[in-house]
Amino acid sequence: MRMYDVIEKKRDGKELSYDEINYFIKNYCDELIPDYQVSALLMAIFLQGMNEREIADLTEIMANSGDVIDLSSIQGIKIDKHSTGGVGDKTTLILGPIVAACGVPVAKMSGRGLGHTGGTIDKLESIPGFKTDLTKKEFIDNVNRVGISVAGQTGNLAPADKKLYALRDVTATVNSIPLIASSIMSKKIACGADRIVLDVKTGSGAFMKTVEKSVELAETMVKIGNNLGRRTVAIVTDMDIPLGSAIGNSLEVIEAIETLKGNGPKDLEEVSLSLASKMLELAEIGDRDYCNNKAKEVLENGQALNKLAEMIETQGGNPDIIENYDIFKKPKHVYELTSGQDCYLERVKTDMLGISSMILGAGRETKDSVIDYSAGIKLNKKTGMSIRKGELIATLYADDNDKINQALQTLKKSLILSDSVEPQRPLILSNIE
């Protein structure tokens, strides 16, 4: 078999066999095929696409290119949840404890963020002492003991995807549904869960900007999961509006805790409960109405909050943060942005808001950037709200006052103020099963 023939076949819009996909992935990982030939194939895939079978094969082969986590020693049906990423997305910190409090094991491997804000692992590491670098035994033992563990991904999880993504990033082939879907799902399959719930974001703060493209991505990933024997469902949620009010690592952990106390933003609670309910339904603890009611019950009676405290203590963190937020690192500088007029917050350019938080130190511009756990933004006003002259719109937090001045310029551009406001679209835009 020759790589030239594989490239030519896909260039001409023909279907690649399992053996041809396996040939190019295996030999590229073994550095037997040069970047320029793989780049040519990626562009051919970008232009010609892949069918359902090809995408499933590509996903499975990439998942098996490195470590595949065996979760069979954890009792019960293991459900994983994945979000395609967004500004202020801290749902794992809420839905994980909810699901675990309902008796369903949550064994979740998460990544760090590169871009607007930190990933789930960065958020958890803002808790003093919290350990995310767990051995496989520690990870599984924690789930069996307290029902939940969230750990950093192993360095050898789907290495083929890492190599391909680095190449896609410099060859203008990132924005391809088959390549995006197989990239995400290869890591989910390798993480070992029995079933998968996906939260696909859409809008200005998401990778996919339109509902149509987001639904297409969600449908493709659901088909991949089902074709590979992992029952998969998805929801498409709005990311034209930041989720919740806090953007930044310790700020988001605090907001998650407040949500588990029943005091959080309603949009964050709605998405978290919806995802938790779907995870419970996939775990077959009851029908849809039962799962909806059960998720709300453990949120309202405090069992989910207690489960978060258990997880924090088990992984070396200080559980006192549940009641004492002063334990978190504090920023040296705080700036309050107020309105100079009576107006409405018509909309937020969520991507620019995320960039503002990154400038403050809440995210990484490069993989070597150091995160400031205390940095970030709190929105005191949300899209659609009225604002009186002099009222507080947002609060900025950072250790460096110069960063606040830089971030402020981007933040102001992200907030679109007007004399009126249009009705807001629903938060959950589509369900794909």
Distance CA 205, CA 203 (A): 6
Is residue 73 in a domain?
Answer: no
Is residue 432 in a domain?
Answer: no
Q: Same structural domain for residues 159 and 286?
A: yes
**Can you spell out the DSSP letters for 358-394?**
HHHTSS-SSTTPPP-TT-EEEESS-TT-EE-TT-EEE
Max CA pair span of the chain: 70
Q: Same structural domain for residues 316 and 333?
A: no
The CATH number given to whatever domain includes residue 17 is 1.20.970.10
Q: Same structural domain for residues 345 and 309?
A: no
Q: Same structural domain for residues 33 and 93?
A: no
Q: Same structural domain for residues 233 and 215?
A: yes
| Burial degree of 7 (CB within 10 A; 0-12, 13-18, 19+) | buried
- Could you give the residue numbers annotated as active site? 82, 161, 168, 183, 187
% pLDDT > 90, the chain: 85
pTM value is 0.92
Is residue 368 in a domain?
Answer: yes
Is residue 431 in a domain?
Answer: no
Are 236 and 65 in contact, with CB atoms under 8 Å apart? Answer: no
The CA–CA distances, whole Å, from 284 to 7, 227, 280, 281 equal: 44, 20, 6, 5
Distance CA 364, CA 338 (A): 27
Residue-wise pLDDT for 142-179, tens only, equals 999 999 999 987 768 899 999 998 899 899 998 899 99
Q: Which residues of 214-232 are buried (b: 16+ CB within 10 A; e: fewer)?
A: bbebbbbbbbbbbbbebbb
Residue with tokens 């659609």: 384
Could you say which of 322, 342, 362 is where a domain stops? Answer: 322
| Predicted local confidence at residue 388, as pLDDT | 96
Is residue 55 in a domain?
Answer: no
Q: Same structural domain for residues 334 and 314?
A: no
What is the CB-side half-sphere exposure of residue 53 using CA atoms within 13 A?
7
Could you say which of 304, 322, 340 is where a domain stops? Answer: 322
Q: Which residues of 306-332 are buried (b: 16+ CB within 10 A; e: fewer)?
A: bbbbbbbbbbebebebbeeeebbeebe
Q: Same structural domain for residues 259 and 158?
A: yes
The CATH number given to whatever domain includes residue 347 is 3.90.1170.30
Q: Same structural domain for residues 291 and 409?
A: no
| Predicted local confidence at residue 114, as pLDDT | 53
| Burial degree of 13 (CB within 10 A; 0-12, 13-18, 19+) | exposed
Is residue 71 in a domain?
Answer: no
| Predicted local confidence at residue 113, as pLDDT | 63
Strand spans (E) along 206-281 = 231-238, 246-247
Q: Same structural domain for residues 105 and 32?
A: no
Distance CA 299, CA 321 (A): 18
| Predicted local confidence at residue 85, as pLDDT | 80
Tally Cβ neighbours within 10 Å of residue 15. Answer: 12
Helix pair 249-260, 92-101: axis angle to 10 deg: 40
Q: What range defines the domain where residue 28 resides?
A: 3-49
| Predicted local confidence at residue 286, as pLDDT | 95
Residue-wise pLDDT for 56-109, tens only, equals 999 999 999 999 999 999 999 999 999 988 888 899 999 999 999 999 999 998
Give the chain's length. Answer: 433
Is residue 195 in a domain?
Answer: yes
The CATH number given to whatever domain includes residue 178 is 3.40.1030.10
Q: Same structural domain for residues 132 and 114?
A: yes
The secondary structure of 28-81, three-state, reads: HHCCCCCHHHHHHHHHHHHHHCCCHHHHHHHHHHHHCCCECCCCCCCCCCCEEE
Q: Same structural domain for residues 233 and 336?
A: no
* pLDDT, one tens digit for every residue, the chain (433 residues): 999 999 999 999 999 999 999 999 999 999 999 999 999 999 999 999 999 999 999 999 999 999 999 999 999 999 999 998 888 889 999 999 999 999 999 999 887 765 567 789 999 999 999 999 999 899 999 999 999 999 987 768 899 999 998 899 899 998 899 999 999 999 999 999 999 999 999 998 888 889 999 999 999 999 999 999 999 999 999 998 889 999 999 999 999 999 999 999 999 999 999 999 999 999 999 999 999 999 999 999 999 999 999 999 999 999 999 999 999 999 999 999 999 999 999 989 999 999 999 999 998 877 677 889 999 999 999 999 999 999 999 999 999 999 999 999 999 999 999 998 888 889 999 999 8
Q: Which two tokens stand for residue 5?
A: 């023939």
Q: Same structural domain for residues 184 and 83?
A: yes
Is residue 70 in a domain?
Answer: no
Could you say which of 322, 339, 357 is where a domain stops? Answer: 322
Number of domains in the chain: 3
Residue-wise pLDDT for 170-196, tens only, equals 999 988 999 999 999 999 999 999 999
